[in-house]
Structure 1
Amino acid sequence: MAVTDEAITKIKAMLISGELKAGDRVPPEKELSERLGLSRSSLREAVKALELARVLDVRRGDGTYVTSLEPAILMETMSFVVDLHQERAAAELLEVRRILEPGSASLAARRITPDAAAELRACVAAVEEDSSVEDLISHDLAFHALVARASGNTYLHGLLEGLAAGTLRGHIWSGLMQDKAVSATLAEHAAIAAAITAGDPDLARALMTVHVSGVESRIRAAA
């Protein structure tokens, strides 16, 4: 194991054991390197890597702290990977969404709060068929984010946020506009929202499956 990987593993062990908790200040470099039996240079590289992974927050002149460790923060790195690969792996990314989003919709139908239901209805009502592609993309991102958040599962929400891929959505909605399929797609959103807010998990799951599968089929056909 490379020394930097060893350093990362040891810091992770401190987090798993509870020796370091969310929001804690990490011991100074010299103290921590001695405690873990690591060189200061390998520890420094590990801290840099964990900062990029949003596990640690290095505050210049103040010290290094453990982040909140919330799933949405930790999964931001996945969003970076998705952005890099969305052009050549669009169909596979949609395949993952097809696996996850129906479950998210089903959970949302069971758990959505009145405030979240009102927000979801407002999101559906605020967009028109003749909206610009930018507005349609914003609507799409907001709609799926609201459903994921309403699922009440922070890990599922974080995963789906990481798969958001704004550029890919731009290609999808541009294609929908060319195919004159915007109205049908917005109608699918409305139907999904209605099933969720009515508390019908089976219908919400089925409608979301059809919705994401249709987009996936378009992407595969265009490849």
Structure 2
Amino acid sequence: MALTDEAILKIRDLIQSDQLAPGSRLPPEQQLSAQLGLSRSSLREAVKALELARVVDVRRGDGTYVTSLAPRVLLEGFGFAVDLLRDDSLPQIMEVRRLLEPAATALAALRITDDALEELAGLLTRMRAAADDAEQLIGYDTAFHRTVAAATGNESLTSLLDGLSSRTLRARLWRGMISGDVSGQTIAEHEAIYRALRSRDQFLAQAVALIHVDTSESWLRTLLSRADERRPA
């Protein structure tokens, strides 16, 4: 095992055993390296890796702290990873979204508040007004689905769905849909999701969400197919 990997695992064990609780400050480098039986260079590399993973927060001139370890923090980099996936991996991401988003929408139908419904109604109004503007639609679409996911009250699920439906992926879909003159259909599907949520019908909400994800998935496959056709042999 690489020394840096060993250092990461040892720090992880301290966190999992609550010897380092969320929000707590790590001991000074010299003390911690001696405690874990590690070189200071290995410890530094481990801390850098854990900072990138949002496990620790390095505050210059103050020290290194364990983050809150909340799902929204630890899963923050998930969407960034999705953005880096190659085209041939994106259909797999859409399949995962198809498994999770309809179930999340059904759960939201049981838990959504009147304030959240009002927010969705406002977003729909703005989406209709921006039907030919991809950049605005991307923002409204992202906010719409984030509001639905947040209505579940499940922070882990919300963070996962946010990553699966990253802004970059939405941008590719919306630009393709506008050029293909199917943006109106997609907006109508958002309206159907809203009506199902407003009626608090979990089964209808799940069904219309599945239809919407299927539309996005089908259109993504169309975009990828066109891209393949344009590539030189």
**TM-score of the two chains, using structure 1 as the length reference:** 0.95
Moved over 6 A (4+): none
1:200 maps to: 201
1:211 maps to: 212
Amino acid at match of 2:56: L
- Provide the rounded CA distance (Å) in 2 between the counterparts of 1:31 and 1:114: 53
Amino acid at match of 1:29: E
- Provide the rounded CA distance (Å) in 1 between the counterparts of 2:177 and 2:132: 12
SS in 1 for 2:131: coil
Show the 5 A alignment for 1:1-223: 1-85=1-85, 87-128=87-128, 130-222=131-223, 223=225
Amino acid at match of 1:177: I
Residues 60-81 of structure 1 deviation map (CA, whole Å, 9 limit, x = unaligned): 1000011111111111222221
Q: Is the 8 A contact 1:105 1:201 kept in 2?
A: yes
Residues 164-217 of structure 1 deviation map (CA, whole Å, 9 limit, x = unaligned): 322222221122112221111111101101111221111111100111011111
Structure 1 residues 158 and 35: alpha-carbon distance in aligned structure 2, compared to 1, 3 A threshold: same
Cα drift, residue 86 of structure 1: 5.3
- Provide the rounded CA distance (Å) in 1 between the counterparts of 2:109 and 2:115: 13
Cα drift, residue 145 of structure 1: 0.8
Which stretch shifts more, 116-125 or 63-72? 116-125
- Provide the rounded CA distance (Å) in 1 between the counterparts of 2:182 and 2:86: 22
SS in 2 for 1:115: helix
2:230 maps to: none
- Provide the rounded CA distance (Å) in 1 between the counterparts of 2:142 and 2:214: 17
Instruction: Give percent identity, aligned residues only.
Output: 51
Amino acid at match of 2:158: H
Cα drift, residue 88 of structure 1: 3.7
SS in 1 for 2:127: coil
Q: Is the 8 A contact 2:149 2:158 kept in 1?
A: yes
- Provide the rounded CA distance (Å) in 2 between the counterparts of 1:20 and 1:86: 38
Q: Is the 8 A contact 2:132 2:178 kept in 1?
A: no
- Provide the rounded CA distance (Å) in 2 between the counterparts of 1:166 and 1:116: 21
- Provide the rounded CA distance (Å) in 2 between the counterparts of 1:88 and 1:60: 41
- Provide the rounded CA distance (Å) in 2 between the counterparts of 1:206 and 1:179: 25
Q: Is the 8 A contact 1:56 1:65 kept in 2?
A: yes
Cα drift, residue 90 of structure 1: 2.2
SS in 2 for 1:127: helix
RMSD of Structure 2 on Structure 1 (CA): 1.4
Cα drift, residue 134 of structure 1: 0.5
Residues 87-145 of structure 1 deviation map (CA, whole Å, 9 limit, x = unaligned): 34222221111111011101111111222222122211222263411111111111111
Alignment: residue pair count: 223
- Provide the rounded CA distance (Å) in 2 between the counterparts of 1:28 and 1:180: 59
- Provide the rounded CA distance (Å) in 2 between the counterparts of 1:164 and 1:73: 17
Q: Is the 8 A contact 1:87 1:168 kept in 2?
A: no
Unaligned runs of 5+ in 1: none
Cα drift, residue 221 of structure 1: 3.0
Amino acid at match of 1:217: S
- Provide the rounded CA distance (Å) in 2 between the counterparts of 1:174 and 1:5: 42
